[in-house]
Chains A and B, each alone.
Chain A
Amino acid sequence: MSTSAPSRKLRYRPPVTLPYLLSRSAGAVFAIWGALTIVFLALNLGGDPASSLVSPSASVEDIERVRRLYGYDQPLLVQYLIFFKNVATGDFPNSLRYATSPMALVFERFPNTLILALCGMSLGTVLGLAIGYASAFAKHWMLREIPMAVVMALQAFPPILLGVLLVLAFSIKLRWLPSAGGGSPLHLVLPSLTLGIYVAPAIARVFRTSILDVQNADHVRTALAKGVSPRMVRLRHVAANALIPVLNQIGLQLGAMLGGAVVVETIFSWPGIGQLAVGALNNQDFPVVLASVSFVAIVFVLVNLLVDILSAILDPRQRSVQ
């Protein structure tokens, strides 16, 4: 009866197309190049790096020695190329302070940042999505209004204040959790909580707005007319579609966190990459600054690339945009 002979399998369509992957990756490479160039220029246009590397009392010969050692005597263009070679090989000049390879320092610290960012982000995402969903769909008005209001109020707290308050309550008053440092899962709780509470409101708000938008879409009515149960309509046709803009929000926040949540890492003395970069800046440890900032820029771009790919998987319309 059917003219389309019932072949066994449906035509396979990859969730992301190769042209899309290639064009996004090309964009990412371009973004990394731009970010690294800015890092390079920012460090080199601020005056002679060599004279700020040595102690103020150093002799002219000392300065000249440092300059040659780090290649600052070369023309800017050569330095620029060397910088890119360093990034590509991960082989930066040794740290001035720790006298080791800066990349080793970065790789030592990065897992800490990664763990904190993932914990904080997961917490914030779960919290934000739950609150956003409840604020749009909960039957009782209290569930719709109160969590959203609380979270909005919390958004007004800067993370530094929030962090200090949490330390006061849970470490000093209750003595349940360590106030600072790393090493055990318990150390992770307060900083994650601070980060989670910090990102949850934005996610909750974007999700809520998005849900209310999608709810009025024509296709929701079609789904109801088909006889899909109201619960499935909410989950599959409203909430899932509403996730698309939320994903972008999550990507931005996660990217920023992987760059080292500097404030939070400082409050809790969390040995992450943000702390490393700030310390290096204060000590004028330029190789470490360069290495960590370059690394963070690349991670940021890669996270956003990942989010682009994920959102293309979630939203097929984006795939056909090249």
Chain B
Amino acid sequence: MSGPVLDVQGLVTRLDGSAGPIIAVNGISFSIGPGECLGIVGESGCGKTMSAMSIAGLLPEGGFIAEGRIALDGVDLASLSPDARRKFRAEHIGVVFQNPATALNPRMNIGAQLREALPLRGDAANRRAAELLDMVGVPRAWDRLVDFPHELSGGLAQRVVIALALARSPKLLIADEPTTALDVSIQTQILDLIDAFRRDLQLAVLLVTHDIDVVADRAQRVAVMYAGNIIEEGPTKALLNDPIHPYTAGLLASTPNKVSPGTVLNPVEGAPPSLANPPSGCRFAPRCALATAQCELTLPAASIAADGRMFRCIQPLSKTNRLPDPPIDVVARLPAASRVPLVKSEAVSRSFILSRHLVTRAPLKQRQAVAGVTLEIFEGESLGVVGESGCGKSTLARLIAGIDHPTQGRIIYRGQPLSDLGSGRRQWRRDVQMIFQDPYSSLDPRMTIGEIIAEPLSYNGLAKAERRKRAAALMDEVGLSQELIDQRPAQISGGQRQRVGIARALSQDPKLIIADESVSALDVSVQATILNLFRRLQRERGLTYLFISHDLNVVRYMCDRVAVMYLGKLVELAPTDALFRNPAHPYTRALLASIPGAKMMGERLRGDLPSPDQPPAGCRFHTRCPQRQVICESIEPSLEHLGGGISVACHYPVSRSQTHKKKLENQQTSSPYKEERNMK
């Protein structure tokens, strides 16, 4: 095997849409060798997916390759007839897509979809299909052939998509945001799988992702894309540790995991330019802190650094040419949180009735989304709630916000149960505000920005002119230009929309802000500016935050304490430092080990989350726990305080289990671990 599997030279992709022609990819070059993984990173709208789809021949309607050469396994694709080219691509390229839930045909069973990709027919095709499923780790593969996509979990569906991609033994695997739609535990499993095939089958892998942490773990080389160009490309380690291009450095400074906790994020302000009308010079110049007049004249040519890295910049970073530090007011430390509880949930549960008996109407199937959670939120602190999807974190947030009511237990606000608040209820409604995940659907598209922000104020009985003035002041506070006051949500960017949501929440002068995945839908640089805003507001207004997020890096960066939930239960609660340095619950430990870019070693999460409708008996985590004992299968551990503000619900929390483990190892000669697990 010699030469690269994929060699791309000067690729230009054009999209002729209704909005006129767009150069989506503007002359990119790179190559990938066998067994190598190249990561493409960048913000959304920078042409990452378009590059990948140009190579795979899956461009959307109106898209075509205008210039450049794509050589696959030494064969120039342009030299083939369209039909031969299609077959050649199908033979040599496997593609894994972003959303496994929609990537499979809902009408056909998995076996039929796999057979389509195979050159075999009949029984042989079925046997090969089952082999492929087995290879990607789908249990009971033969039985699964007749299952339909909607019967699979996201993780399993993505495994099936990978099996499809590998069906023709391709040389190149293109993975376009393969794990963005998946939980962190599943993400790790899928990326491990792709990694294993890369090594074992000597696959060349093109990994497109917005997540720098994923690339850091998985790719040997990284290409950073900005506005249709690759602006820096080189070995992963060198590029991430010592970026040359200011944009690369800006992306890294926006990533919570890449800065040590306590320091501040230093994101690139603004957004990538529209590709319909890009700046004439260096496309990053308008956002670049180091840009000079020279930068705005011509697009910088590709240069080669001393270590062989490619970059396009005439102001490369060096010891003397560095990005400016973030403004000082962002850096200032927050005051320590108090120990006065603002809100307390007392053994709160929330069950949803899924189906009822036809005649008696008695509940037949229930889902306990939150199961007896006791949790205090102290004034002035940021409390993070983490866990896989389906663990009940959003339901808990809604209960605390008073949007939903517990089926058992109660919420206590400033020492008073909500039910006893009486006339204090109005004040409480104002004091607790919520910011939602999706900045696109949580704002009324027909209202102007000013109206959206001022709407809650009308309940305070303010006159219209006064409301507008207050809205403008709030926009100032959250860093929105006042010129936007008469615009509508569709006219502003995602980051701006999230600021609108924040301003609306602030209009009530709240004490507690509940942020439910409020930054998950945003690009890293935008996410970082919003996180910085959250911090500034906390310092200036003395806010308390309840931060719901599946992104542990964000929580680590933002929060003083972290609560970990699993299947409706609170399994661990600890100060952030302690939790990340020394997790006590095996679930926390496995969750942390699953984070991309994690330094934490240890066993990662295996398998899928059990159905929340029928949680396992005993400790709910025992089915996935690497350290489970017989007792865990029958007796549910209660939340115990270990001191140092750490509480954990586990029979064998890790700090104690170290000694326990030794004991266990001594026993193992007589009763092997495996047998013990199979007892019951």
Q: Which residue numbers of A lie inside 8 Å of B, CB to CB?
A: 1-8, 10-13, 217-219, 221-230, 232, 236-237, 240-241, 244, 314-317, 320
Given A222-B97, A316-B109, are A11 and B146 also a contact pair (CB < 8 Å)?
yes
The reply to whether A217 and B102 form a contact with Cβ atoms under 8 Å apart is yes
> In the complex, what's the smallest C-beta–C-beta distance from B622 to chain A, in angstroms?
25
Give chain B residues whose Cβ lies under 8 Å from the Cβ of A223: 105, 116
The reply to whether A221 and B97 form a contact with Cβ atoms under 8 Å apart is yes
A-B contact count (CB 8 A): 105
A-B pairs, 9 with minimum CB distance:
A227-B90, A4-B142, A218-B102, A226-B117, A225-B95, A316-B148, A219-B105, A4-B141, A222-B103
Give chain B residues whose Cβ lies under 8 Å from the Cβ of A7: 142
Give chain A residues whose Cβ lies under 8 Å from the Cβ of B130: 2, 4, 6
Complex: A312 Cα to B140 Cα, angstroms: 26
Complex: A225 Cα to B168 Cα, angstroms: 11
The reply to whether A226 and B141 form a contact with Cβ atoms under 8 Å apart is no
Give chain B residues whose Cβ lies under 8 Å from the Cβ of A244: 107
Given A237-B105, A317-B148, A320-B150, are A6 and B90 also a contact pair (CB < 8 Å)?
no
> In the complex, what's the smallest C-beta–C-beta distance from B60 to chain A, in angstroms?
8
> In the complex, what's the smallest C-beta–C-beta distance from B202 to chain A, in angstroms?
20
Q: A226 contacts which of B102, B150, B164 (Cβ < 8 Å)?
A: B164
B111 CB-CB contact with A under 8 Å = yes
B161 CB-CB contact with A under 8 Å = yes
Chain B residue nearest in CB terms to A224: B58
Which of A3, A7, A225, A316 has the largest number of chain B CB atoms within 10 A?
A225
B346 CB-CB contact with A under 8 Å = no
B71 CB-CB contact with A under 8 Å = no
The reply to whether B103 and A10 form a contact with Cβ atoms under 8 Å apart is no
> In the complex, what's the smallest C-beta–C-beta distance from B91 to chain A, in angstroms?
7
Give chain A residues whose Cβ lies under 8 Å from the Cβ of B165: 225
The reply to whether B93 and A10 form a contact with Cβ atoms under 8 Å apart is no
9 sampled A-B residue pairs with Cβ under 8 A? A8-B123, A218-B99, A219-B104, A221-B58, A222-B97, A222-B164, A227-B91, A229-B86, A314-B107
Chain B residue nearest in CB terms to A4: B142
B127 CB-CB contact with A under 8 Å = yes
Complex: A227 Cα to B106 Cα, angstroms: 18
Known: A218-B97, A225-B90, A244-B107. 12 other contacts (CB 8 A): A1-B134, A2-B130, A3-B141, A4-B143, A6-B127, A13-B109, A218-B99, A219-B102, A221-B103, A226-B90, A227-B89, A236-B108
The reply to whether B104 and A222 form a contact with Cβ atoms under 8 Å apart is yes
The reply to whether A227 and B127 form a contact with Cβ atoms under 8 Å apart is no
The reply to whether A228 and B109 form a contact with Cβ atoms under 8 Å apart is no
Given A225-B56, A227-B86, are A4 and B117 also a contact pair (CB < 8 Å)?
no
Complex: A217 Cα to B104 Cα, angstroms: 9
Complex: A228 Cα to B90 Cα, angstroms: 8
Give chain A residues whose Cβ lies under 8 Å from the Cβ of B58: 221, 224-225
B541 CB-CB contact with A under 8 Å = no
> In the complex, what's the smallest C-beta–C-beta distance from A226 to chain B, in angstroms?
4
The reply to whether A2 and B56 form a contact with Cβ atoms under 8 Å apart is no
Give chain B residues whose Cβ lies under 8 Å from the Cβ of A236: 108
Give B322-360 interface residues, CB cut-off 8 Å to A.
Answer: none
> In the complex, what's the smallest C-beta–C-beta distance from A198 to chain B, in angstroms?
30
Complex: A12 Cα to B111 Cα, angstroms: 13
Complex: A167 Cα to B517 Cα, angstroms: 67
Complex: A244 Cα to B107 Cα, angstroms: 10
